Amino acid sequence: MKNKEIEEKEVRTIKTESRIEEREDGKYLIGHAAVFNVEAVINTRYGSFRELVEPGAFREAIAQDDIRALFNHNEDIVLGRNRSGTLKIWEDETGLAYEVNLPETQGAKDLKISVGRGDVSQGSFSFNARGEGREVWERSKSGGLDLRRIINAKLMDIGPVTFPAYEKTDVAVRSHQEWRKQIDDPEEKSAFELVVEPDSLMSLRRHFLNRRL
C-alpha cells in the first residue's frame, strides 16, 4: 500500500453475524464488513459527527480495487484477496458482504475456531472517501450533529476483528473542518457549498453527473 493511501486510510467496525461454512473446496468465512443506511456517531477529540454509508458506495471499489481480507487489519494475517479469487465481495440489502476461502495457515485455523465459538463477531473495513464525488457533508436542520454521507469509498481491506479497532478519524476530521470553514466563512463560500447542502440527495447526484459530462 502506498504511503499516501496509508495516511488517508480510515477504519470502521460493526457488530455482525459471521459464520464458517464448510464446502468441498475448503472452509469459508462469511460475513459483512459494513452496513448501509445506519447512522453512526463518530466521536473525535475535536468533536463529533454522524456518518452514514450509502448503498452503492462500494460498487466502484468492488470492480476496481485490489482488496485483501485481513484478520484485525493485520497485514501479516492475510485470509484472502479478491484478485486471486480467494475473496469475494458484493453489495446486498444489508451492506458490504464478503466470503473468503480460508487458507490452511495456523492463523486462519485459529480464526475458524474463534468464529465458530462466537468469540469473534465483528466485521471491519478500511477505506478512503476523500475527494469530489466520494463524500457529502450536511448540516443538521435541527441543530444536531453534522452528517457525513459516504457515497463512493475506496477499499483497502475488510475482515473480522476481535475488538472494535480505534477508529481512524483524522481524515474525516480534516474533511469536516474544511467543509465547516467553507460554510461558516462568507468569503470562502463556493460552488462546494451548493453540493454539500442539497435539497435532496438526488440533486447532489445530478450535480456530479453534470460535472463528469
Beta strand 154-161 with 68-70: parallel, antiparallel or unpaired? parallel
Task: Compute φ and ψ for 91, nearest 5 degrees.
Answer: -95, 135
Q: Residue ranges of the domains in the chain?
A: 3-212
Phi and psi torsions of 5, nearest 5°: -65, -40
CB-based contact 50:141 (threshold 8 Å): no
144-178 pLDDT per residue, tens: 999 999 999 999 999 999 876 544 445 455 566 66
CA distance 96 to 155: 11
pTM: 0.75
Sheet holding 87-91, edge to edge: 19-23, 26-35, 95-101, 87-91
* Torsion of Cα atoms, 70 then 162 then 125 then 78, to 10°: 0
pLDDT digits (tens, 9 = 90+) for 16-38: 888 999 999 999 999 999 999 99
